[in-house]
Structure 1
Amino acid sequence: MNTKAFYKISFLTLYSLIFFNFFSCQGTRGLAENEKLYTGAKINIDDAHISKKEKKELKKGIENNLTPKPNASLLGMRPRVAIHNMISEPEKPKGFWYWLKYKVGEKPVLLSDVNREFNRDIIVNYSENKGYFNTKAKFDTLTKGKKAEIVYNVNPDYRYFIRNVRFPSDSTLVEKAIAETHAETLLKSGDAFDLDVIKNERERIDNELIQKGFYFFHPDNIIVQADSTVTDLHEVELILKVKDDAPQLSRQAFTIDQTVVFTDYDLDEAQRNNYGIPANLDGLEMYNDKFFIDPNNKFNPKIFDNTLPFKRGDLYNRKDHNIALNRLISLGVFKFVKNQFIISDSLNHKFDAYYLLTPKKFKSLRLETLGKTNSDNFVGGEVNLNWSHLNLFRGAEHFTASIFSAFDYQLGGPENSNNLFRYGTRMSLVVPRLWVPFFKPQPGGSFLPKTQITTGYEFQKRTKLYTLGNYNFSFGYYWKENLKKEHEFNPFVASYVSASNVTENYRRQIEKNPYLQRVIENQLIFGPNYSFTFTNTMLPQKNTFYYQGKVDLSGNLSGLITGADAKKNKQVKFFNVAFSQYAKIENDFRFFHKISSHSSIATRLIAGVAYPYGNSIEIPFSKQFFAGGSNSIRAFRARTLGPGRFDSRNNQNTFFYDQTGDIKLELNTEFRFPVYKFVHAALFADAGNVWLVNKNIERPGGEFTKNFIKEIAVGAGVGLRLDFSVLVLRLDLATPVRKPYLEEGKRWMFDKINFNDKNWRKDNLILNIAIGYPF
């Protein structure tokens, strides 16, 4: 070892010792003479009567139940306690120093905070609840300097196991119903006695009974007796019974009698005037066995056929109860939804079901404006005027009509030829039922299926280049299978793009770069598409997932009927425009891992392919994939990356970069963590690219080959997110780590990073400003 290396190691060793010693001392700094820092509990279990696995499980359960928890430690240090102790008490319970002391730092947990007798009782109770009857425990306190540890010695007796389970055998209605659920019981012969499992069994039985009309039943109405005298083999017999003092109503199954719907219920007025459920239903409008109170005739009663599953004479059940509420809310026309089940005055064991619905305002007019700028020297804005009606035909049909106008203006562009102006209109009608010819499907879950019809027109003008007109129409269905799964199927989607006013200036550029011709080609696209989405990200789990798969088909049936084959010069045209024929598949998979209640790791994988055939040689420009931009590979500007190793910087196109491909692979990952209140931050890395299915001489190196891994672009960066709950403003600063269009061996950029170089910063520091998280 040379002298220089020796001094380096010596210096690092000394620095580390000083660092560890400093934080170790700071953990107990400021404690009074008689105070001790509580460092945790040690559990010693006498394992004479239990296996190693049982000992491990019992020890873990005891540790989870002891209070309080000691301060978190790192290599024997407690840095959060050290930070807390180093900062003086702030004058006010707010501000930066208070946040640093009590949010970043952590108040020390003292030995005096620990109730040792209480914890000993917890150990005994927990052990016996897990079947270790007659458990004994004692404790001892070990101190060392200013620190203290508590040692609990646990002596569990033999564990008891379930010999058999007896369900009620009486002939009463509720006990018969309980006995009928025995096949799904959680209590199994041979399993260990466990109070938590017994509690779950009572909840299970309650959930079963509530589906059978026992509206007033409760888990506390069930008692589970444990008889340990049946044998001397440490076994118990469990006996399930309905408590003798259980209310009489809890023993009765209820059916639905009358259903009454208030479609214009004013909650505020009802509270002011103290009115509620009418006692007399005489004279009310009736439709399909339901009574309606709708003085202003706002709704067609037919919409409640699919919304309210209860029919007269049906046995009450919680499933249909919740389905009705979810469907009413999903209609999107009610501000408040409330229901009541009232025992009928004239009939025993029957309910009158009341639904009190407060409508929203149906009509609205909204004006939206947007201003934007980006790193390509573009500034622009957009204005949208939207008119909507939530109940167009009195059947909760949502109609929206909008007109919009937008512009993007390039400062300093060549002869201002990059300026873009857009205007157009959109209309949408969403109906809360399926419009299917000759068939009336019934909803089967908590969410109403919907039919959606949309149409629109958009006019685009690039100054001194060309203009485009885009007509589109779609008809389809949307439905949620359950809370996690949803489907969207559009049997017919069509769009027609027409170019005009192409300037000579643009045609001259096409001669230099034939790829630009695709931008102004007339396009006719029609066919079905389907998407499936699964997500459990709404659940309070440590690991959650999101997946969306899409299939887009165009011109397949027409191509089959006409025998179209563009490669053999048999291209078929409709209205003098060749229709597009292709198949496109996209997959978007996301995984979220919670590290703590505030920090997480988010990962996304995108894989897609679009394949042209029959009447098309290439995928329509508007249907291709692209990479780069604020929601993609953030170290590269939007649509500047790829395809493959093609270098768009050498492109003779002086107007704009717009690189696309037929295949896309992309992987993104972020470490997200809070900084201060609504301020959050992220460290991220992105990788991916797009490729072409077929070789293209205009973009050499753009086709997908077995060497595609060598053509992956990589970027990394840091992000700042201002999370205002209703709005997230995101700023991501990224730099390319690997550029696939450079020569092999020179694509990694680590040795070229130079923050002092102005030109390097201009080309390699990409700032993305966006709304919302990237995924």
Structure 2
Amino acid sequence: MRNASTKISLFILIGIILVACNTLKRVPKSKRLLTKNEIVVNDKKVNTENITSLIYQKPNTSIGGIHLRLYLYNWAKLNHDSIYKSKFIKDPEKYKHQSKWLSAKQVNRLGNSFWYAGIHEFLRTTGEPPSILDKKSTEKSRLRLKSHYFNNGYFNVKTSYEIDSSRIRKAKIKYNVITGKPYMIDSVRTTIQSPALDSLYKTQQANSFIKSGKQYQIADFDNEKNRITTHFRNNGAFYFQPTYVNYAIDTLNGNYKTNVNLKIDNYSFSEGDSTKTQPFNLYKISEVNIYTDYNSKDTSDVAEKKTTFSNFNLFSKGKLKYKPKAITNAVFITKGSYFSDLRTNLSTRYLTNLKVFNYPTIRYKLDPNDSLSRSIIADIYLTQREKFSFGYGIDFTHSNIQDFGISGSLSFGIRNIFNGAETFEIATRGNIGSSKDLANPNNQFFNVSDYGVDMKLNFPRIFMFFNTDKIIPKSMIPSTALTLGFSKQKNIGLDKENFTGAMTYNFTLNRTTTFRFDLFNIQYVKNINPDNYFNVYQSSFLALNNLAIKYNANPGYFEDGELTIPSGVKSFLNDIDQNTIIPSTEDSKTLRSIVERAGRLTENNLIFATNFSVSKSTKKDLYDENFHVFRSKIESAGNFLSLLANLSKQTGTQGVNKTIFEVAYSQYIKGELEYVKHWDFKRKKVLAFRSFAGLAVPYGNSVSVPFSRSYFAGGSNDNRAWQSYSLGPGRSSAVNDFNEANFKIAASAEFRFNFFGKFNGALFVDSGNIWNVFDNIEDEKSVFKGLKSLQDTAVGSGFGLRYDLSFFVFRIDFGFKTYNPSDTSNKKWFRDYNFPNSVLNIGINYPF
């Protein structure tokens, strides 16, 4: 009852505060506060973003009808400086009294302190001034609406507005639009004066945006202008610009039809004091000059050595520092080809991707040796980056296992290490952190630590024993990366040593699609402290300890009522194996599960995998919030090692795995699909959606998937109503400390919006779970048995707060268990939907 009273009192208090906020506080008495815009088109209300965004003046922003930013602005004292000074003018003795304790200068400075000035400056800049009705802006909005519909073929459109001022000092605006009948395109013809361009236009005339029978839309004319310009400039029209494309529109024939004449005049240029015109020519590249160590500060008399390779001229100051092919492979501008913006951009992109030069400069000039003036010379200027680089960094981190961490890194890089534009980097890293989920007998705050070293050698081409140019042309900007790594973790459960190595090929199909192929990806995980297993996995230990007590195990196995680790545990399990203790059938099943899981998580893993992944993203830049991303990945592990084992005449017997270097290797196949979609509703409102499905199937030498390749559910980047590893498998009630499985389905939706300034909010719904399938787990609660198992999909929902620091977003989410499949009661929905049972997630950047 007390909690209910507290909540009611809190809501009443909040209500009083909000009601007390006067939205008209900063509105002059002779003005009116704009509270609503309404747009009516042909007697129908329109709320689509592309129309409402045309209005210049909008009402103050609100969240759930509450004008929070306006309230913040109204709370601010705009003349705080004069208020501070006036209190001393009214009471000079007060000034003298404070000056005894502080100097006069310090007393004066108090007026600029946070409590007197800073808090009001914060409220003013964070808040939003009242949107006061402005008739000039209203008229501009009316004209803008008229222009919009006119540009979409409604040439007889009529617009007007009405101002509703029935409420005191408040106003609403209603915009009325009568579009009339739209005009359609009737005939389309072209008048292109330059024969070369006329012929070039006809090669792609079928792709025109302007076609007979379509409604007149200005966007089609702009798109057609851009299409023509791109087509011409990619096929030799060096001097062509969009301004040469013009349209003559004839609407005089009536019947709401227009005739279009697309006109492209000849090239005009200045010569002396006069302007001349001539037909456009299509220019070919007569020479390609590459200046490999260009410096803008150099004088023209700097001696340069010329090297000719495959129709390219490479200039260097002294001996050329690069293998010619390494540079010319990155240049798509070739002798004898037509001038092309596309080739220019590809060259710029590839040369930048080499990471040994700064952003290149490419210039074109007429070839003075061509009397017909139809050839141009391409000059490419490359400025070398420093051969050696050194970097360092420190970060504060948060992950699914580590609640808080401090990490540091040092890196050293060498560019052009083999004179083929290769880059080499070696980096060391270290981390200390804190985790509440791990065994921590000494109750140390920093109970997590790891360190490691990584090496990477990158080749700006496909590194293969045969030529791959016909399969993966250089236009795909291919690269090869060789990586080696070692890391050691201490005080993280079992402690681990991790050795990794990979050979990775990366290439792009186009601007939106990238590919990655790992010819091999090797990982060897060695558990240094396997005897610590039952200290870490407490749920397994408690189950085992209860069984030992139930069957009256030897008292010498215990200390303070618990099995000693590891000696007591091993002795008890040995008694089970020797039939000294004979448990029931059900308890035998439980013991087998505990022993199997302990054996799987303490065994060393050798993974030799090959994988291929595709990523397709329509995101244009960092600020694009209307895009989709599709990712897929297929991975196969163990087949090569299986071949080696067979060649070594290893037969393998029941319950005994084949080994390489005395380590049982993992064998599985794994597939993943992920889809992310963002919808931009403008004004910092975004709906984000993510779906994921992944399956890893063990076979051959394995009956389960390695822990590092399995799936988990819960956490700040997954289902936020559950902590990491605490959801699933299935409806099994997360009986283990770190629950994982080999099949996962997940989907999330999040609506993001802005509160004020850099403060943002989010409402989200997360769903999904993990299951076991095609492996050695037999618990029916954990196993996926077809579509009926989807009823075990967990649902979490909640809200979040974000603060945008530009270089990253700090995120806090509160997740509530909305549907809990492991709940044994009849109320799986909203049973724990309250703050005491919520999960607080702290993360960096958005979850997806």
User: Alignment identity in percent?
Assistant: 24
Corresponding pairs, count: 725
Aligned equivalent of 1:523, options 584, 605, 609:
605
Deviation at 1:439, TM superposition (A): 1.4
Give the residue type in structure 2 aligned to 1:363: F
Give the direction of change, closer, same or farther, for the CA distance of 1:313–1:243 in structure 2 (3 Å limit): same
How far, CA to CA, are the matches of 1:747 and 1:496 in structure 2? 42
Superposed CA offset, 1:730-769 (max 9, x none): 333445455544424365563584x6xxxxx5xx454443
Q: Equivalent residues in 2 for 1:164-563 (5 A)?
A: 164-168=187-191, 172-227=195-250, 235-243=257-265, 246-247=268-269, 248=277, 251-267=280-296, 269=297, 284-295=306-317, 297-347=320-370, 348-369=373-394, 382-406=407-431, 413-414=440-441, 422-441=450-469, 444=473, 447-460=476-489, 468-499=496-527, 502-503=530-531, 505-506=565-566, 508-509=568-569, 511=573, 513-514=594-595, 515-538=597-620, 543-556=626-639, 559=642, 562=646
Give the residue type in structure 1 aligned to 2:520: F
Q: Verify the 8 A CA contact 1:555 1:581 in the aligned structure 2.
A: yes
Q: Structure 2: which 5+ residue stretches go unaligned?
A: 1-10, 82-116, 270-276, 533-564, 574-590
Deviation at 1:328, TM superposition (A): 1.4
Answering whether residue 706 of structure 2 is matched by residue 633 of structure 1, we say no
How far, CA to CA, are the matches of 2:330 and 2:756 in structure 1? 45
How far, CA to CA, are the matches of 1:639 and 1:228 in structure 2? 68
Aligned equivalent of 2:769, options 682, 689, 697:
689
Give the direction of change, closer, same or farther, for the CA distance of 1:302–1:697 in structure 2 (3 Å limit): closer
Answering whether residue 671 of structure 2 is matched by residue 585 of structure 1, we say yes
Deviation at 1:225, TM superposition (A): 2.3
How far, CA to CA, are the matches of 1:591 and 1:291 in structure 2? 47
Superposed CA offset, 1:18-67 (max 9, x none): 999999x956984554879696577687xxxxxxxxx9899999966976
Higher mean C-alpha deviation, range 555-564 or range 246-255: 555-564
What does residue 731 of structure 1 align with?
812
Deviation at 1:696, TM superposition (A): 5.5
How far, CA to CA, are the matches of 2:731 and 2:759 in structure 1? 38
How far, CA to CA, are the matches of 1:90 and 1:524 in structure 2? 67
Q: Verify the 8 A CA contact 1:641 1:659 in the aligned structure 2.
A: yes
Superposed CA offset, 1:138-177 (max 9, x none): 8586665464757768695x76543322223767323333
Give the direction of change, closer, same or farther, for the CA distance of 1:265–1:730 in structure 2 (3 Å limit): farther
Give the direction of change, closer, same or farther, for the CA distance of 1:315–1:280 in structure 2 (3 Å limit): farther
Q: Structure 1: which 5+ residue stretches go unaligned?
A: 1-11, 46-54, 652-656, 756-760
SS in 1 for 2:383: strand
Q: Verify the 8 A CA contact 2:142 2:175 in the aligned structure 1.
A: no
Q: Verify the 8 A CA contact 1:566 1:617 in the aligned structure 2.
A: no
| TM-score using structure 1 length | 0.79
Deviation at 1:320, TM superposition (A): 0.7
Answering whether residue 59 of structure 2 is matched by residue 71 of structure 1, we say yes
Give the residue type in structure 2 aligned to 1:620: P
How far, CA to CA, are the matches of 1:102 and 1:202 in structure 2? 43
Deviation at 1:423, TM superposition (A): 4.1
Give the residue type in structure 2 aligned to 1:182: Q
How far, CA to CA, are the matches of 1:105 and 1:359 in structure 2? 49
Give the direction of change, closer, same or farther, for the CA distance of 1:517–1:354 in structure 2 (3 Å limit): same
Deviation at 1:80, TM superposition (A): 7.8
Give the residue type in structure 2 aligned to 1:529: N
Give the direction of change, closer, same or farther, for the CA distance of 1:62–1:339 in structure 2 (3 Å limit): closer
What does residue 539 of structure 2 align with?
none
Q: Equivalent residues in 2 for 1:39-118 (5 A)?
A: 68-71=56-59, 79=67, 83=71, 90-91=78-79, 104-114=127-137, 116=139
Give the direction of change, closer, same or farther, for the CA distance of 1:175–1:87 in structure 2 (3 Å limit): same
Q: Verify the 8 A CA contact 2:149 2:157 in the aligned structure 1.
A: no
Give the direction of change, closer, same or farther, for the CA distance of 1:84–1:113 in structure 2 (3 Å limit): farther
How far, CA to CA, are the matches of 2:730 and 2:51 in structure 1? 55
Deviation at 1:191, TM superposition (A): 3.0
Give the direction of change, closer, same or farther, for the CA distance of 1:323–1:191 in structure 2 (3 Å limit): same
How far, CA to CA, are the matches of 1:67 and 1:496 in structure 2? 61
How far, CA to CA, are the matches of 1:374 and 1:130 in structure 2? 51
What does residue 584 of structure 2 align with?
none
SS in 2 for 1:479: strand
Higher mean C-alpha deviation, range 542-551 or range 378-387: 378-387
How far, CA to CA, are the matches of 2:663 and 2:31 in structure 1? 90
Give the direction of change, closer, same or farther, for the CA distance of 1:726–1:396 in structure 2 (3 Å limit): farther
Give the direction of change, closer, same or farther, for the CA distance of 1:290–1:37 in structure 2 (3 Å limit): same
Higher mean C-alpha deviation, range 291-300 or range 543-552: 291-300
How far, CA to CA, are the matches of 1:687 and 1:112 in structure 2? 49
RMSD: 4.6
Give the direction of change, closer, same or farther, for the CA distance of 1:91–1:427 in structure 2 (3 Å limit): same
SS in 2 for 1:284: strand
Q: Equivalent residues in 2 for 1:654-669 (5 A)?
A: 657-669=737-749
How far, CA to CA, are the matches of 2:636 and 2:500 in structure 1? 16
Q: Verify the 8 A CA contact 1:564 1:614 in the aligned structure 2.
A: no
Give the direction of change, closer, same or farther, for the CA distance of 1:362–1:728 in structure 2 (3 Å limit): farther
How far, CA to CA, are the matches of 2:464 and 2:149 in structure 1? 61
Deviation at 1:392, TM superposition (A): 1.7
